[in-house]
Amino acid sequence: MKLFKGLRNVLVNQKVLFYWFLLILIVPNICLCFTESWSPMAKLTQVLLPLSVYYGLMSTLFKNCGKTLWILFPLVFLGAFQIVLLYLFGQSIIAVDMFLNLVTTNSNEALELLDKLLPAIVIVVLLYLPALIAATVLVWKKDPCPAAFLRRERRRSLWLLGGGVLALLATYLTDSRYDPKTDLYPLNVCYNVQLAFQRDAQIRHYHETAQGFKFHSRPTHPLHQREVYVMVVGETSRAQNWQLYGYPRATNPALKKIEGLTVFTHVLSESNTTHKSVPMLLSAVAASNFDSIYYQKSILTAFKEAGYATAFFSNQRYNHSFIDFFGQEADRVEFVKEAGLKADANPSDDDLLALVREELSKGADKLFIVLHTYGSHFNYRERYPADMAYFKPDAPVDAKVKYRSNLINAYDNSIRYTDRFLAQLIALLDRQEVNSAMLYTSDHGEDLFDDKRHLFLHASPVPSYYQIHVPFLLWTSASYRANYSAISQVAEQQKEKQISSSASFFPTMLQIAGIQTVSRNDTLSVVNELFKEKTRWYLDDHNRARRLTDVGLEAPDFDMLDKTGFTY
């Protein structure tokens, strides 16, 4: 009883709660000091300046500090979000892409991550819920804080503010790259929220801003020859686990036997997020000119202008972004998961093959198909049928380091399944006995607890080597190789060049199909003799093209880039 009475007294003691509320408000700042590679002075600023502002607000806004905490609830929400993000990715503030992902990630994908996030959610609940309950009790009781106490705390907040301002000035003097709107929490998160709203508004007006766009494309191949071209965008497939890239496990038994296949070895994606990477693959947009995406259309329109029948088949759900917009440009559009299935339905990528087979049966002289697979997206064990579990045990696949071997088995099974899918697709095209080609890459890779950092998944604000090294494959039919032998020869010559999938996928596909347009940059096409190796870029959270040495990659990432022969 004494313990309960003492706890009750604490929960209604405004002086105690005043300091408790201050502590929970500043927790994210303290955590960031341990996770971010800021200078010591920047870390001091990170704590002193926001704490002085919280101090001032707590001692000024209301005499009841419970009411003040509820007024500051947006900061509590952001703090909880920030802690979950740090738990998930180990570093970085809440990015613009994190807010956009709230509206572009479907509910099933989010549910698949709950197991990984559960410990963080528990931490957040234990940290913030008792304080919010105590604040509610204070509001209900309507007891004010002693006036003398609030005056004293206001004076302390001013002294603290002075120290924070001095620390900020010292940071400016010692760090030329320091910018509060990107480096000071929660100012940086508020800035990112504003950018997210701005981008969302631009996305909503896309159909207006891109309405008059034209490629003015024209075909250069003979009109009487039947042609079929397929562009495949994979999901979360990293080159590191492909047998074709030197992986010791048999993850590509089918593709290894196929003639006419060229494997490009040194390919990096310019984004680790689907909603950015896929639109870059499907358009003339890359990291260096990403903001032009609001005024452009996709490769589907370029093929349509050149006289092709077009189809877009996806095994993903609508995400209300450019992927949907670009897909809708096709003559035929099918989102397998949206075809009247239950919300938790998990159709196989093989369902896309049935759609391809159906489209081929129509016998169009000129046909272009884009496939967007679900590939190796977590939960990996749900990406392939149980009877195709070649590597075992593949369960449990809980997102924990202790289950890494099981996770790797399940992930490798998903790669092996992709191998079979692509081989079957190639067989479908080969049976047409016409000029045909397939171009494949993945939107990004994945972290699988690969080193001591214990990183997992993708889309982290700071990428890793494993998230950006992707497979890039070209297959051409015997008929195509006979008629356009120069394309195949140049592809073989370029296969070890330093390539950006984001910049090269679009122009390469256009050249394979012999489509001319002012939007085709032949210095980026990996099947053109004019191809030039370019500066490595990565599209950061603020849509700025940054060099790989300037995006936060760490020593283990550069070690892997060096080991696998990349230049940067």
State whether 158 and 285 are in the same domain. Answer: no
Range of the domain at 493: 222-563
State whether 109 and 235 are in the same domain. Answer: no
pLDDT on residue 349: 96
Asked, for residue 513, whether it belongs to a domain, the answer is yes
Nearest partner of 566 among 260, 266, 329, judged by Cα:
266
State whether 451 and 367 are in the same domain. Answer: yes
Bridge partners, 436 (sequence order) = 228
How many distinct structural domains can be found in the chain?
A: 2
Asked, for residue 386, whether it belongs to a domain, the answer is yes
Strand pairing report for 309-314 and 366-372: parallel
State whether 387 and 505 are in the same domain. Answer: yes
State whether 153 and 191 are in the same domain. Answer: yes
Bridge partners, 266 (sequence order) = 498
Mention every residue, 6+ apart, whose C-beta is less than 8 A from residue 42: 171, 175, 178, 183
Asked, for residue 196, whether it belongs to a domain, the answer is yes
Residue 224's CB is within 10 A of a number of other CB atoms, namely 6
pLDDT on residue 568: 94
CA dihedral of residues 245, 251, 257, 262 (deg, nearest 10): -30
Asked, for residue 217, whether it belongs to a domain, the answer is no
CA 60, CA 68: separation in Å to the nearest integer?
Answer: 9
State whether 344 and 400 are in the same domain. Answer: yes
DSSP-assigned letters across all residues of 416-468: HHHHHHHHHHHHHHHTT-SEEEEEEEES---EES-STT--EES--SS--HHHH
pLDDT on residue 191: 96
Asked, for residue 212, whether it belongs to a domain, the answer is no
State whether 164 and 269 are in the same domain. Answer: no
| 3-state DSSP assignment of residue 206 | helix
State whether 185 and 292 are in the same domain. Answer: no
DSSP-assigned letters across all residues of 153-180: HHHHHHHHHHHHHHHHHHHHHH-TT--H
State whether 190 and 226 are in the same domain. Answer: no
pLDDT on residue 11: 57
- The single residue listed with the structure tokens 């010791």 is 248
CB-CB contact of 448 with 376 (8 Å): no
CA 79, CA 90: separation in Å to the nearest integer?
Answer: 15
Bridge partners, 563 (sequence order) = none
End position of a domain, from candidates 202, 235, 256: 202
Query: Nearest 5°: phi and psi at 333?
Result: -125, 130
State whether 277 and 151 are in the same domain. Answer: no
Query: Nearest 5°: phi and psi at 176?
Result: -65, -20
State whether 139 and 14 are in the same domain. Answer: yes
CA 235, CA 281: separation in Å to the nearest integer?
Answer: 12
Asked, for residue 213, whether it belongs to a domain, the answer is no
CA 335, CA 404: separation in Å to the nearest integer?
Answer: 32
- The single residue listed with the structure tokens 């927790």 is 27
CA 415, CA 444: separation in Å to the nearest integer?
Answer: 14
The first and second tokens of residue 498, run together, are 């330093």
End position of a domain, from candidates 202, 233, 250: 202
pTM of the model: 0.91
End position of a domain, from candidates 169, 202, 235: 202
Query: Nearest 5°: phi and psi at 526?
Result: -80, 0
CB-CB contact of 406 with 397 (8 Å): yes
Per-residue pLDDT of the chain in tens (568 residues, 90 and over written 9): 554 455 555 556 888 999 999 999 999 999 999 999 899 999 999 999 999 999 999 999 999 999 999 999 999 999 999 999 998 888 899 999 888 876 666 556 655 566 667 888 899 999 999 999 999 999 998 888 899 999 999 999 999 999 999 999 999 999 988 999 999 999 999 999 999 999 999 999 999 999 999 999 999 999 999 999 999 999 999 999 999 999 999 999 999 999 999 999 999 999 999 999 999 999 999 999 999 999 999 999 999 999 999 999 999 999 888 999 999 999 999 999 988 666 667 899 999 999 999 999 999 999 999 999 999 999 999 999 999 999 999 999 888 899 999 999 999 999 999 999 999 999 999 999 999 999 999 999 999 999 999 999 999 999 999 999 999 999 999 999 999 999 999 999 999 999 999 999 999 999 999 999 999 999 999 999 999 999 999 999 999 999 999 999 999 999 999 999 999 9
Mention every residue, 6+ apart, whose C-beta is less than 8 A from residue 193: 99
pLDDT on residue 107: 55
Strand pairing report for 472-476 and 498-500: unpaired
Helices assigned H by DSSP within 328-403: 350-360
State whether 179 and 245 are in the same domain. Answer: no
Any idea what the CATH number is for the domain that residue 450 is in?
3.40.720.10
